[in-house]
Amino acid sequence: MKKDITIHRTRIGKDIVAEFVVPSSKKAQHEGKVAILCQGAPTMPGKSSVLAFLAEKGFYAIVPRYRGTWESSGMFLKREPTEDITEVIDALAKPLLSLWEEVEYRLPKKIQVYLFASSFGGPAAFFLSTDKRVSKVVAFSPVCDWTVASDTEPLDVMDALTKRYYGEGYRLVKNAWKKLKKGDFYNPMTAIDRIDPKKVLIFHTEDDDVVSIASVERYAVATDTRLLVSEEGGHMGLSEIMDPATWRHIGGFLK
């Protein structure tokens, strides 16, 4: 029977609120594998099932709220979200404080950081693949080029839609989503030197109507990054981690 996994809440730096779990076995706790989830946006913040799955697989797992979203302070897309994930990695050198329990969880001195990203979070994970502290990156349906129009989430209307649908869950800088459309901010295709392709595995589908397969294939070719494509599955999120067949691919890649 699986053990119950406690979801802890912590604060990282001044702005970022995150949830984290501790590996379910003492042996795994000493091994120091850390999974950071770079989630999509806009989205609801709950990733409890994925966190619990990763804890069972032997990871400390953390999901931060990007600046300007949900409980985190700041303004969304005022700064590149890569900075938010970098701040999380920086924080791993110190104990993680569970705010409710007021208990500190200290990670081993030697850790291996793995980034799991989906959609909007893909660029942050790609850019941090060049960080020496990051061992591997796994991305599902990642945005690779913001200048390529999305069939179902066109950037021209996303500012209004995000505000209408999520209310104060997202505090947007002026024309936040349109800022991405220019292609010179948080855009992997115009910054191909910011990826270490040996560390990256991309999963995508041919029928993704949010991020086109053509844009991802162009990026994979330009950067020589490993890409696994399925015929069906739509726009994938981080819950794909829990699919047994997908996890077998991931497990082999992480080793």
**What percentage of the chain carries pLDDT values higher than 90?**
93
- The pLDDT, as a whole number, for residue 5 is 87
Q: What are the start-end ranges of the E strands in the chain?
A: 8-12, 16-21, 33-38, 59-64, 96-98, 103-105, 112-118, 134-140, 200-205, 226-230
Taking the mean position of all CA atoms in its chain, how far away is CA 76? 15
Q: Which residue do the tokens 């993704």 mark? A: 208
Q: What is the mean pLDDT of residues 80-92?
A: 98
The tens digit of pLDDT for each residue in 181-219 reads: 999 999 999 999 999 999 999 999 999 999 999 999 999
- The pLDDT, as a whole number, for residue 1 is 33
- The pLDDT, as a whole number, for residue 48 is 93
Cross-strand pairs, 98: 103
Domains of the chain are: 8-243 (3.40.50.1820)
The tens digit of pLDDT for each residue in 166-187 reads: 999 999 999 999 999 999 999 9
- The pLDDT, as a whole number, for residue 255 is 87
2 pLDDT higher than 60: no
The tens digit of pLDDT for each residue in 139-169 reads: 999 999 999 989 899 999 999 999 999 999 9
- The pLDDT, as a whole number, for residue 151 is 86
**What percentage of the chain carries pLDDT values higher than 70?**
99
User: Quick one: residue 253, left, alpha or beta (phi over 0 = left, psi -120 to 50 = alpha)?
Assistant: alpha
**Average pLDDT across the chain, whole number:** 95
Query: pLDDT category, 44, cuts 50, 70, 90?
Result: confident
- The pLDDT, as a whole number, for residue 3 is 59
- The pLDDT, as a whole number, for residue 8 is 96
CB 73 within 8 A of CB 26: no
Contacts of 244 (CB under 8 A, 6+ apart): none
108 prior amide bond cis, ω within 30: no
